[in-house]
A and B are shown apart, each in its own frame.
Chain A
Amino acid sequence: MIYRIEVGTKPGFRDPHAEEVHGAIRELGVPGVQSVAFFRVYYLKGTFDRKAAERIVQELLIDPVTQEAALDAKLGEEGPDIWSVEIAYKPGVMDPVEESARKAISDMGIRGLEGVKTARRYAIRGNILEQDKSLIIDKALANRVIERPIQPGDRIFFEKIEYQFKLIEVPLLSAGDDELLRISREGQLFLNLEEMKAIQQHFKRLGRNPTDVELETIAQTWSEHCSHKTLRGLIEYNGHVIDNLLKSTIVRVTEELDKPWCLSVFKDNSGVIEFDEQDAVCFKVETHNHPSALEPYGGASTGIGGVIRDPLGTGLGAKPVANTDVFAFGPPDYPREKLPKGVLHPKRIMKGVVAGVRDYGNRMGIPTVNGSIFFDERYVGNPLVYAGNVGIMPKDKVEKQIVVGDAIVVVGGRTGRDGIHGATFSSGELTSESEEISSGAVQIGNPITEKKVVDTLMQARDRGLYRAITDCGAGGLSSAVGELAETTGAEVHLDRVPLKYEGLTYTEIWISEAQERMVIFVPPDKLDEALALFASEDVEATVIGHLTGDRRLRLYYKGHLVGDLDMEFLHHGLPRTVRRATWSAPEHPEPDFPEPEDLGPSLHRILSSWNVASKEWVIRQYDHEVQGGSVLKPLVGAQDDGPSDAAILRPRLDSYRGIILANGCNPKYGDIDPYWMAASAIDEAVRQVIAVGGSRQRLAILDNFSWGNTDKPDRLGSLVRAAQACYDVAKAYGTPFISGKDSLNNEFQADGESIAIPGTLLISALAVMPDVRKAVSMDLKRPGNLLYLVGDTKAELGGSHYFALHGAVGNSVPKVDLELAPRIFDALSSACGQSLVRSCHDLSEGGLGVAAAEMAFAGGLGAKLDLRSVPTSDGTARSDWLLFSESNTRFLVEVEPDNEAAFCEALAGLPFAKIGLVTTEPRLRVTGLDGRLVVDEDIYELKRSWQEPFRW
């Protein structure tokens, strides 16, 4: 028996979801829609009677105050002017409500439930043209990747499909070059000819063909996503060969800096540094770009879900304490008619991504505390979604032990067909058919499953019930077991893996990227206790095999040997390819325009640019205070709405020791020189830490490269240059890299043309702060206080917002002074440590003008500045240049008159100067080089310009 239940809002109550959908339809420009009503639909399949179904409706499914329901009937109005459309998940897509609904119905004592599915019905009133209906479904109601419109009578529950075991061999031995490439392409293996030949050679020596699961395992292990073969390979760059770019730049700087507080770097799922005597903190940032392009909500939520499992899978497991997110999208006002085929509109992608991060992070109870968003037309077809997570763990739990004989236990979610080929898919370019062929790569997350896993794993860790842990990320069990058991070998019985539904082949089980799964290695004598612990909180944990000691990866399905691989070949058989890289400095035209008399309008325009404008709409949707450790929030100031430079939180509630999280990223500078882009990103991340009262005493950074197709020499050349800057700058700043990730092939094929994203390097910073009560916020505090500009201002406007207003990129990219910058950081840290700084803001996009405006309106106070006092070593002689230069390593600092002498002493010998003061009158007044006012603006008007763009 299948019961169909509709739940709707009673008349007289608002329905925010219906209003949102109506708004989305309006934005599509479809005429004729008068109203939208929304009904949640439940399908209950079971052997219970109608009376029980009615109980479920009344006692569980509706809120009796605001909702009404109909069993096997429709709610709302019907008629010729009402178009009714129902959206359900596609078959095989996990319905996240099913598990909790099952539990709730069982709690009621009702037996015989076989399945629960949910759907959404919209009753749309108006005169809607037939051709507009499919547009509304695709763009406002459903995501075709995971959902489908259904008609009354359509099948909701599907029969179980039994899987008949059949061992599949891939005829590799006899294949010629074309055939090898065909096998790679059609199997979505993304392996090139040389790699296919290496596999062929290996199996020729063995005298047999590989099975499908063996080939898949190799493809996944050798994927760019898992092996980083480009950056670890050989690169011929401007005439010389770089052997392992990562090792010779990013890893090398960490080795040379050799900080004793770096506890585990570049070898585990995240980088680990010492927090205090007792604990360590770890940090990882991942990308989830390609899935988010297809299904923004699911892509972003599984991105955050996935990165949370990195600290959880580090050492013996860290408790997640903070999330970060950085996105890059096309402009939200991008014209619809210009969108390439198969591409979602940037605004829809952004809304979906934000909702995905929000729902997953909030439900996990992890505060999302730091982030930023970049907009550029080149991200239209290929948005970027970086998700980060910080965890805390006892220092004696930083290392794993891999011991022969330990049981391999998979903990958490069940395995389904979701996310098949994610690792290889993320390593290839997107095409307009990507949505069609790769939709299996999109996964749906269930944060509550993951929360339960975290809750129980932390208990199991503290009771010493396992010796190693890792996450099932890209590549699924294949990657998790394959990597962790590299030194011992493993035997896995794939038929023992719990499945969401029947019908998966042994290969699908092995490579599925179903979410919320961790793998732990449990000593045999602890197995019973471990399994009982997980069971006590309804977390599924299943023994699927054990560690063997023969360095072979052996896979079985119902007793049949389906895979038998040599760990040595799997992990070290990948042929190293030589890639060519070139870079030459581009020539951009220099803008030529006279200096405007009034710089106020330019300031307003920069403040309201997508990149600079307030992201409050995003930030407030994230719970940034859960876990109770919030010290410096992402929004600060007199009205809690100014842009904080960094987040500070206390991961342990019984201590005033804290961590600072910040990020630096400015892809625009890369259009001039990726070297200085990378240098600027590091400088920005570090100076944000300094700006909130931190220091570089214990400051670690992470690199995340999102680049175009690095098979193309110019793309790879720009990456080489960025990596070289990473070495030079991190070395000079004394800030080791502790972890990183690269996402290559971020290109989009449209109409035969390949559009690459701008090479985008995100630098994330994690710093330990000994006493969070020394924190400094960026909002102006008191009239009469002095304003100091710290750092050297040069005519560095290449890639700046000011030049962008004039349609130019220019060439004078901001550089960093590797000798001077660390001294400036330390001097300012010292001043903050002595409580000499009342507010401080780093100068970045939009330079001094934007920083001063933000400080003023965040504090609800005015400021007077005089550009004639600005320290400039290159003698910059234009007021607009001084006001909007984006030179690095600069801060605007508020100092009480009483502390002036001490502050000046702290900064002695460095470029800094008093350039103004805080005023009661709420205006920002800037005197230009000729003594005239070049800015005279009401701070509330400036604030309005800054807040207006994202008032969604």
Chain B
Amino acid sequence: MAHSVRTIVLRAAGSNCDVETAFAFESVGSKAELVHINRLVRGEVRLADYDILAIPGGFTYGDDISAGKILANELRYKLADQVEQFHQDGKLILGICNGFQVLVKSGLLPSGHIRDGKQQVTLTANDSGKFEDRWVYLEVNPESPCVFTRGIEGRITLPVAHAEGKFVPASDGVLKELQSKGQIVFRYVGPEGQFPAYPWNPNGSVDNVAALCDPTGRILGMMPHPERHLDPTHHPRWTREGLHAEGQGVAIFRNAVEYVRRHL
């Protein structure tokens, strides 16, 4: 009997990619529920009832103070036990754009722990000094333990849309560890796979990092938006290149749902 996969798409004041993120999960066979964080905090909803936690893009709490910070703190102070347990239960967490910023600032990435999680890396203001929406190329790291990217080969293209997406590790040691454990899931590359000068690295990220996972590979955070490349008409050049069977973001959601079906 096939396991029915349940995804919780976490909303907070200022989340704004929640609907399309839920749509992405539903289109690959998961149930997806939009849940306001207040309901989790008040105990009306329990994380334990879900298999996948998705923190969508947006500007939670206006990104006041810094991007994703206030929601990250809310998770740490109000929901740390639930989140920690959720991860220990072998379930999946995906943070996109603002969701990635939340994961990083809560400590969940790259360590995988939120309780006493120390922030080891950050996503800070783009070198260009402004918000930018543009399509980029990503090279997947075949050595990564990330469960969301299995079967994805070579380069994919997705859009980024952010003002604070520049990856910076706290030290060279942190970066080396991420590299050695395969925790860098996607790197920005040029259209032909070459080293990405701006705008191909759209924000000045160190080591061209676009996405990270935790050591288990079950928590993925990424600045680019896979939920904006589901339909073939999302592709910026579909009127030139024709309509593909599906968008290149779909695999990330499908992998997550299939992982849950197989392992949970």
Instruction: Report B-chain residues with C-beta under 8 Å of the C-beta of A776.
Output: 239
Measured CB to CB, the residues of A under 8 A from B are: 13-17, 19-20, 59-61, 63-66, 96-97, 100-101, 103-104, 107-109, 358, 362-365, 446-448, 451-452, 455, 536-538, 619-628, 630-633, 635-638, 640, 650, 653-654, 656, 772-773, 775-777, 779, 781, 839, 859
Apart from the given pairs A101-B65, A621-B131, A632-B239, 14 other A-B contacts in the complex at a CB distance below 8 Å: A17-B129, A63-B69, A63-B119, A109-B77, A363-B62, A365-B17, A447-B62, A537-B38, A620-B134, A628-B23, A653-B23, A656-B233, A777-B239, A777-B240
B16–A636 CB distance below 8 A: no
A65–B64 CB distance below 8 A: no
**Known A65-B119, A107-B78, A773-B243; contact A621-B132, beta-carbon cutoff 8 A:** yes
B237–A538 CB distance below 8 A: no
Find the A residue at minimum CB distance from B161: A623
Residue B208 CB within 8 A of the other chain: no
B19–A627 CB distance below 8 A: yes
CB distance from B253 to the nearest CB of A (A): 12
**Known A108-B73, A537-B38, A631-B233; contact A358-B239, beta-carbon cutoff 8 A:** no
A66–B16 CB distance below 8 A: no
Residue B50 CB within 8 A of the other chain: no
Measured CB to CB, the residues of B under 8 A from A are: 11, 13-17, 19-20, 23, 36, 38-39, 57-59, 61-66, 69-70, 73-74, 77-78, 105, 119-122, 124-135, 159, 161, 168-170, 204, 225, 227-228, 230-231, 233-234, 236-237, 239-240, 243
A630–B161 CB distance below 8 A: no
A362–B131 CB distance below 8 A: yes
CB distance from A42 to the nearest CB of B (A): 9
**Known A14-B127, A365-B16, A628-B228; contact A448-B59, beta-carbon cutoff 8 A:** yes
Distance, CA A362 to CA B204, complexed state (A): 21
Please list 24 pairs of residues, one from A and one from B, whose beta carbons are closer than 8 Å in the complex, sorted by A's number.
A59-B73, A63-B119, A63-B124, A65-B120, A96-B62, A97-B65, A100-B62, A100-B64, A100-B70, A107-B73, A107-B78, A109-B77, A447-B59, A536-B38, A536-B39, A537-B38, A627-B16, A628-B23, A628-B228, A631-B233, A640-B236, A640-B237, A772-B233, A779-B239
Instruction: Report A-chain residues with C-beta under 8 Å of the C-beta of B78.
Output: 107
A100–B130 CB distance below 8 A: no
A640–B228 CB distance below 8 A: no
Distance, CA A859 to CA B204, complexed state (A): 28
**Known A101-B64, A537-B38, A638-B237; contact A13-B228, beta-carbon cutoff 8 A:** no
Find the B residue at minimum CB distance from A776: B239
Find the B residue at minimum CB distance from A363: B59
A65–B131 CB distance below 8 A: no
B170–A775 CB distance below 8 A: no
Instruction: Report B-chain residues with C-beta under 8 Å of the C-beta of A654.
Output: 23
- Leading 8 A-B pairs by shortest Cβ distance: A365-B16, A16-B129, A628-B20, A65-B122, A777-B239, A100-B61, A100-B64, A448-B62
Distance, CA A404 to CA B170, complexed state (A): 63
Distance, CA A60 to CA B243, complexed state (A): 46
| A65 contact from B20, B57, B170, Cβ within 8 A | B170
Find the A residue at minimum CB distance from B59: A363
**Known A65-B170, A451-B16, A625-B133; contact A636-B61, beta-carbon cutoff 8 A:** no
Instruction: Report B-chain residues with C-beta under 8 Å of the C-beta of A537.
Output: 13, 36, 38
CB distance from A854 to the nearest CB of B (A): 15
CB distance from B7 to the nearest CB of A (A): 16
Find the A residue at minimum CB distance from B243: A773
B240–A638 CB distance below 8 A: yes
A452–B62 CB distance below 8 A: no
B13–A538 CB distance below 8 A: yes
**Known A451-B14, A777-B239; contact A107-B124, beta-carbon cutoff 8 A:** no
A628–B227 CB distance below 8 A: yes
Distance, CA A61 to CA B70, complexed state (A): 10
**Known A13-B168, A19-B129; contact A628-B234, beta-carbon cutoff 8 A:** yes
Instruction: Report B-chain residues with C-beta under 8 Å of the C-beta of A17.
Output: 125, 129
Distance, CA A859 to CA B240, complexed state (A): 9
Instruction: Report A-chain residues with C-beta under 8 Å of the C-beta of B133.
Output: 619-625
Instruction: Report B-chain residues with C-beta under 8 Å of the C-beta of A859.
Output: 240
| B20 contact from A13, A103, A448, A627, Cβ within 8 A | A627
Instruction: Report B-chain residues with C-beta under 8 Å of the C-beta of A100.
Output: 61-62, 64-65, 70
Instruction: Report A-chain residues with C-beta under 8 Å of the C-beta of B17.
Output: 365, 626-628
A640–B134 CB distance below 8 A: yes
Instruction: Report A-chain residues with C-beta under 8 Å of the C-beta of B170.
Output: 64-65
Distance, CA A101 to CA B63, complexed state (A): 10
| B61 contact from A16, A20, A104, Cβ within 8 A | A104
B135–A448 CB distance below 8 A: no
Instruction: Report A-chain residues with C-beta under 8 Å of the C-beta of B233.
Output: 631, 650, 656, 772-773, 775
Find the B residue at minimum CB distance from A97: B64
Instruction: Report A-chain residues with C-beta under 8 Å of the C-beta of B16.
Output: 363-365, 451, 626-627
Instruction: Report A-chain residues with C-beta under 8 Å of the C-beta of B62.
Output: 96-97, 100, 363, 446-448
CB distance from A63 to the nearest CB of B (A): 5
CB distance from A114 to the nearest CB of B (A): 18
A65–B169 CB distance below 8 A: yes
CB distance from B100 to the nearest CB of A (A): 14
Distance, CA A14 to CA B125, complexed state (A): 9
| B122 contact from A63, A104, A536, Cβ within 8 A | A63
CB distance from B65 to the nearest CB of A (A): 6
Instruction: Report B-chain residues with C-beta under 8 Å of the C-beta of A16.
Output: 125-130
Distance, CA A775 to CA B239, complexed state (A): 7
Instruction: Report A-chain residues with C-beta under 8 Å of the C-beta of B14.
Output: 363, 447-448, 451-452
Find the A residue at minimum CB distance from B171: A65
B11–A455 CB distance below 8 A: yes
A61–B65 CB distance below 8 A: yes
Instruction: Report B-chain residues with C-beta under 8 Å of the C-beta of A622.
Output: 131, 133
Instruction: Report A-chain residues with C-beta under 8 Å of the C-beta of B11.
Output: 455
Distance, CA A61 to CA B58, complexed state (A): 20
Find the B residue at minimum CB distance from A860: B240
Distance, CA A61 to CA B105, complexed state (A): 12
Instruction: Report A-chain residues with C-beta under 8 Å of the C-beta of B19.
Output: 627-628, 653
B161–A626 CB distance below 8 A: yes
CB distance from B250 to the nearest CB of A (A): 12
Distance, CA A364 to CA B134, complexed state (A): 19
B168–A60 CB distance below 8 A: no
A107–B77 CB distance below 8 A: yes
A448–B13 CB distance below 8 A: yes
| B228 contact from A15, A96, A97, A630, Cβ within 8 A | A630
